[in-house]
Amino acid sequence: MGDTMTKELSETGWNFDNSYARLPQTFFTSQNPTPVRSPKLAVFNKPLAASLGLNVSTLESEDGAAVLAGNKIPEGASPLAQAYAGHQFGHFTMLGDGRAVLLGEQITPQDERFDIQLKGSGRTPYSRGGDGRAALGPMLREYIISEAMFGLGIPTTRSLAVVTTGEEIARESYLPGAILTRVAASHLRVGTFQYAARWGSQEELRELADYAIKRHYPEIQDEENRYLMFLEEVIKRQAMLIAKWQLVGFIHGVMNTDNMTISGETIDYGPCAFMDTYDPATVFSSIDREGRYAYGNQPNIGVWNLARLAEALLPLLHENQEQAVTLAQDKLSDFAQFFESNWLEGMRAKLGLFNEEEQDNPLIKDLLDMMQKHNADYTNTFRALTLNKPEEIILHGTPEFTEWLERWNTRRDRQEESKESSIQLMRNSNPAVIPRNHRVEEALEAANNGDYSVMERLLEVLSNPYAYSEEQLEYTTLPGPSPRPYRTFCGT
């Protein structure tokens, strides 16, 4: 048996551990994926597979596609569906993996641990009437955006593969089915702790918190007040993450508490999109009719979600409820400072500023206000400043922008670093390209018709968005005029 397992491991590279499955069964249901009719590999992330220690050629075979579709369970896997809850648009509900199965945790050659999850793998006890399946378009969309986020240097879950199922699923019409293999530091969410606080015992809540600390914040696991420090660390990571979103114009679209990770990774690329014209009120999601998750509101929603985590952790923070609330509130009050610090540092870098000055905030705010007033493109404005081509910016020629350019150049001249160093800092901080919505739609339409070449070219361009290469130039162009605003959908 040992020789067989060694041979299997050497041929496939799967090296599973299943630490989540060792938690109390309150938190999951053992569940195999539902087999599909005719799995075929549509998109495969070879560099990611290699970094995970997986055998690329084996995964590209029919047997590999069978594993990535859930038709075949790899040696050592322990498939399960996770239980969690969440505030969805402010309303609390019981949730869980309604169309996803965690195969297990891959231990890489570098001894790192990553969840391997199949999304769209069939019904589970948490499906709530859904069919547990996913359509090809939304799975390809998650693949594109998550890999674009990785290229941008933003903490994110990643996409290993998309497999078509050979089956159709019923939505507004019949659509080709697909399964995405998602790779994550873990799938622990704020909603996992909300679930534990509502439906688990206090001891189970403690076990979950200890598990999360050991997995993501091992440096604090021996501290006496580790649960309070745990809350602080999650607050810091989310403040940093949301600041990074704001800096590139990313709009998540569905910041429910079940979509906020404990690890600080971006998760769930449903109705997300990137902003073209700068406007804090920008909303793309078809279901966000009140603008709860608008671009400019993301930091506020972040701290609101973290307050729900703090509420769940109260029994662990202090035996006295009143004292626990005070401790939690003190930590939550730090979010604004953490976010502002990360965002300002990022905005200074986008403007080529190495040091801090008191007037930096007005300098940044005045630029953003002008961009909003004149409907300037967010990404291309910073790209043109980086290339020293202000004439390409829609603001060019206005007295206010001319005055702003003088202030900015004077500000840069005051710092010790050279102009060349400032330009390099800007090139490293301002992406030349983002996954423009019209380019993503173009790639998805072609892929749905069997042509993946458009998507492959887009992924190549997005893999190094700071390259400022000739190949990227055509991807910087804006979409043509449209009679209606761009809308995204959940894809469920």
- The per-residue pLDDT for range 215-261, each reduced to its tens digit, is 999 999 999 999 999 999 999 999 999 999 999 999 999 999 999 99
User: Are residue 50 and residue 128 in the same domain, yes or no?
Assistant: yes
- 99 neighbors 133 (Cβ within 8 angstroms): yes
The answer to whether residue 439 sits within a structural domain is: no
User: Tokens representing 136?
Assistant: 């090809």
Place of tokens 């390099």: 424
Of 342, 362, 394, the residue at which a domain comes to its end is 342
The answer to whether residue 222 sits within a structural domain is: yes
The answer to whether residue 388 sits within a structural domain is: no
What is the pLDDT, as a whole number, of residue 482? Answer: 74
User: Are residue 59 and residue 179 in the same domain, yes or no?
Assistant: yes
User: Are residue 171 and residue 198 in the same domain, yes or no?
Assistant: no
The answer to whether residue 455 sits within a structural domain is: no
Of 184, 201, 229, the residue at which a domain comes to its end is 184
- 14 neighbors 76 (Cβ within 8 angstroms): yes
User: Are residue 80 and residue 171 in the same domain, yes or no?
Assistant: yes
Give, in order, the Cα–Cα distances in Å from 428 to each of 249, 257, 340, 351, 354.
16, 32, 20, 11, 13
User: Are residue 231 and residue 306 in the same domain, yes or no?
Assistant: yes
User: Are residue 246 and residue 335 in the same domain, yes or no?
Assistant: yes
What is the pLDDT, as a whole number, of residue 491? Answer: 61
Q: Can you give the pTM of this predicted structure? A: 0.96
- Residue 145 has a CB neighbour count (10 Å cut-off) of 23
For residue 74, the one-letter residue type is P
The answer to whether residue 307 sits within a structural domain is: yes
User: Are residue 242 and residue 268 in the same domain, yes or no?
Assistant: yes
Considering the candidates 97, 115, 258, 276, report the single residue annotated as catalytic. Answer: 258
Give, in order, the Cα–Cα distances in Å from 382 to each of 108, 198, 298, 315, 368.
38, 46, 21, 47, 11
Would you call 345 helix, strand, or coil by DSSP?
helix
Of 184, 200, 217, the residue at which a domain comes to its end is 184
Domain count, the chain: 2
258 part of the active site: yes
Residue (of 307, 325, 329) closest to 316 by Cα position: 325
The answer to whether residue 153 sits within a structural domain is: yes
Phi-psi region at 155: left, alpha or beta (left = phi > 0; alpha = psi -120 to 50)? beta
What is the pLDDT, as a whole number, of residue 385? Answer: 98
The answer to whether residue 349 sits within a structural domain is: no
User: Are residue 333 and residue 209 in the same domain, yes or no?
Assistant: yes
Report the C-alpha gap between 211 and 226 in whole angstroms. 12
Residue (of 125, 293, 92) closest to 191 by Cα position: 92
- 404 neighbors 396 (Cβ within 8 angstroms): no
Report the C-alpha gap between 100 and 270 in whole angstroms. 14
Q: Which range marks the domain in which residue 272 is found?
A: 190-342
What is the pLDDT, as a whole number, of residue 388? Answer: 97
Burial 27-44 (b: 16+ CB within 10 A, else e): bbbebebbebeebebbbb
User: Are residue 311 and residue 172 in the same domain, yes or no?
Assistant: no
What is the helix (H) or strand (E) element at residue 384, kind and residue range? helix 378-386
User: Are residue 256 and residue 164 in the same domain, yes or no?
Assistant: no
For residue 280, the one-letter residue type is P
User: Are residue 112 and residue 238 in the same domain, yes or no?
Assistant: no
Q: How far is CA 450 from the centre of its chain?
A: 27
Q: Which stretches of the chain drop beneath a pLDDT of 50?
A: 1-9, 492
What is the pLDDT, as a whole number, of residue 3? Answer: 46
- 325 neighbors 316 (Cβ within 8 angstroms): no
Place of tokens 């800096």: 247
The answer to whether residue 105 sits within a structural domain is: yes
User: Are residue 95 and residue 205 in the same domain, yes or no?
Assistant: no
Report the C-alpha gap between 68 and 178 in whole angstroms. 10
Would you call 29 helix, strand, or coil by DSSP?
strand
